[in-house]
Amino acid sequence: MKYRITKTQFNVAVQKLLKNFFGVIHTKPSQMAKNDDFIELYTESGRNFADIWLEGSTVISKGCKNEISIGFTELEHFEKFLPIIRKKEFSKAFIDFVYLHTGIKCDCIHFEFNFKEENDNFSSKTYSYKSKKK
């Protein structure tokens, strides 16, 4: 029996899982950056799980104003609960989640997914998403 999940259903599932996994998130300007190049995102328990790179920093992708970069280990744990099979929809849901909790509008996201370990070799795939300008 095959099941179909709509984009809306997937978005709702991801939002609920993000809420349960990270809780209410908060921000803190980076203490390491000289010119406040990025903002750190923290979970409810105080764990840094992602950063928002701001326009003008050297790390940000071309054409982005604010880019979310999700931590490698955080997403690996998250993917054990919900495999990221709809990368574009996951990206939109994550950007919405960050905006809902912080009020910071982000237009890009960068993360690694599909983690595999075989014979002490570790691999993953990288995905970047740019939302359409309105």
The answer to whether residue 36 sits within a structural domain is: yes
Q: What range does the domain containing 108 cover?
A: 7-130
Establish if 119 belongs to a structural domain: yes
Domain count, the chain: 1
Looking at residue 99, what is its pLDDT? 94
Evaluate whether residue 16 is within a structural domain.
yes
Query: Is 48 or 57 the better-scoring residue by pLDDT?
Result: 48
- Model confidence over 76-125: pLDDT tens digits? 788 777 777 788 888 999 999 999 999 999 999 988 877 666 666 666 67
Residue 66 included in any domain: yes
Which is nearest to 39 in space by CA: 76, 62, 69? 69
**Does 52 map to a domain?**
yes
The set of long-range contacts for 31-38, using a CB threshold of 8 Å and a minimum separation of 24, is 33/57
CA distance 65 to 85: 26
Residue 1 lies in a domain: no
Taking the CA of residue 131 as centre, how many other CA atoms within 13 Å lie in the half-sphere pointing to its CB? 19
- Give the pLDDT confidence score for residue 129 in this predicted structure: 79
Q: Is residue 79 part of a domain?
A: yes
